[in-house]
Amino acid sequence: MKFSKVAACLVAAFSTAVLHADNARFDLVGPKIDVRVTRGSVTLPIAEVPNLQAGDKIWVKADLPSTQANHLLLIVAFLRGTTNEPPDNWFTKIETWDKKTAEGTTVTVPGEAEQAVIFIAPETGGDFGTLRSAVKGKPGLFIRADADLNEASFEQQRIERYLTAMKTVPTNDQKAIQDRSAKLAATLALKPNADCFKQPIEQQVNCLTQSSAPVLLDDGHGQGIAEALSTGPSSDFINAASYTQTAGAGLYSAYVGAVVDLVHLVSLMRTAQYQYIPGISFPQGSTLNLKLNAPPSFHKPESVIVVGLPAIQKAKLPPLHAHDPNQVACLLQPKMALMLEGAPLVFSTSFAHDLVLRLNRTEAPTDLPLTPEAFEGGLIVAKDQQRTPLGDAKPDAKPQGADAKPAGKTGSSGDLTITGTVHGYWGFDPFDGPTLTMQQVAGKGWKIVSDTQLLAGQDSHIALKADGTACVQSIALTNNKDKDVDVAFKPASGDKDNKDTLDLAVSLKKGQPGGYSLAIQQYGESAKSDVPLTAYTGDIHVDGLKIHKGDHAAVLRGQGLKDVVSVQIGEQTFTPANDGNDGTTVHLDAKSGVSPDDGSDALVKLKDGRTMTAKISTEAARPGLQLLSFNDTPAKQEGSLPVTLGAKNDIPLNGKLTLVVQTKDAFPRTQTIEVATADGSVHTSLSLATNDLMLQDEHTAIATLDPLKAFGQSAFGKLQMRPVAADGTTGDWTPLGMLVRTPQITAIQCATAGDSSCTAEGSNLFLVQAFGAAKDFANQTKVPTGFAETSFKVPMPADGTTVYLKLRDDPESVASVLLPTPMEKPAPAPAPTSPPPAAAAADPVASPESQAVDPAAAQKPLDTPAKSGTEPEKPAAETQAQPK
CATH of the domain at 485: 2.60.40.10
| Helix ranges, 352-406 (H) | none
CA 698 to chain centre: 63
Residue pLDDT, tens place only, 667-694: 999 999 999 999 999 999 999 999 999 9
d(CA 15, CA 276): 11
Q: What is the mean pLDDT of residues 637-652?
A: 89
**Same structural domain for residues 53 and 142?**
yes
Q: What is the mean pLDDT of residues 583-606?
A: 92
The answer to the question of residue 171 being in a domain is no
Query: 102: which residues sit within 8 A by CB, 6+ positions away?
Result: none
pLDDT at 118: 92
Q: 19-28, 292-301, 477-486, 858-867 — which is least confidently predicted?
A: 858-867
Domain boundary among 389, 411, 439: 439
DSSP 664-701: SSPPPTT-EEEEEETTSSSEEEE-TTTTSEEESSSSEE
User: Residue 436's beta-bridge partner residues?
Assistant: 420
Cβ burial 284-303 (10 Å sphere, 16+ → b, else e): eebbbbbbbbbebeeeeebb
Closest to 855 (Cα-Cα) out of 870, 834, 869? 834
Ramachandran region of residue 238, left (φ > 0), alpha (ψ -120 to 50) or beta?
Answer: alpha
The answer to the question of residue 166 being in a domain is no
**Same structural domain for residues 748 and 789?**
yes
pLDDT at 30: 85
The answer to the question of residue 499 being in a domain is yes
The answer to the question of residue 111 being in a domain is yes
d(CA 345, CA 341): 10
The answer on pLDDT for 405 being more than 60 is no
The answer to the question of residue 615 being in a domain is no
**Same structural domain for residues 567 and 523?**
no
More confident residue, 813 or 66: 813
**Same structural domain for residues 25 and 131?**
yes
CB of 72 closer than 8 Å to CB of 279: no
Phi (first) and psi of residue 583, to 5 degrees: -70, -15
pLDDT at 12: 34
pTM of the model: 0.59
How many Cα atoms within 13 Å fall on the side-chain side of residue 93? Answer: 16
**Same structural domain for residues 737 and 808?**
no
Q: What is the mean pLDDT of residues 38-63?
A: 93
The answer on pLDDT for 877 being more than 60 is no
Domain boundary among 308, 335, 358: 308
**Same structural domain for residues 137 and 243?**
yes
Q: Which helix (H) or strand (E) holds 367?
A: strand 366-373
**Same structural domain for residues 677 and 754?**
no
Q: State which residues form the domain around 496.
A: 447-537
The answer on pLDDT for 218 being more than 80 is no
Provide the pLDDT confidence category of residue 121 given band limits of 50, 70 and 90. confident
Ramachandran region of residue 151, left (φ > 0), alpha (ψ -120 to 50) or beta?
Answer: alpha
CB of 624 closer than 8 Å to CB of 862: no
Domain boundary among 582, 610, 638: 610
Residue pLDDT, tens place only, 714-732: 999 999 999 999 988 899 8
Considering just the CA atoms, what is the radius of gyration of the chain in Å?
Answer: 52
Closest to 149 (Cα-Cα) out of 251, 259, 246? 259
Q: Domain total for the chain?
A: 6
Q: Which helix (H) or strand (E) holds 187?
A: helix 174-188
**Same structural domain for residues 33 and 115?**
yes
**Same structural domain for residues 549 and 484?**
no
d(CA 365, CA 252): 46
The enclosing domain of 710 has a CATH number of 2.60.40
**Same structural domain for residues 227 and 151?**
yes
Q: Are strands 337-341 and 429-439 parallel, antiparallel or unpaired?
A: unpaired
**Same structural domain for residues 410 and 501?**
no
More confident residue, 775 or 539: 775
Closest to 768 (Cα-Cα) out of 791, 751, 750? 791
pLDDT at 132: 85
The answer to the question of residue 405 being in a domain is yes
The answer to the question of residue 183 being in a domain is no
**Same structural domain for residues 361 and 423?**
yes
The DSSP letter of residue 18 is: I
The answer to the question of residue 882 being in a domain is no
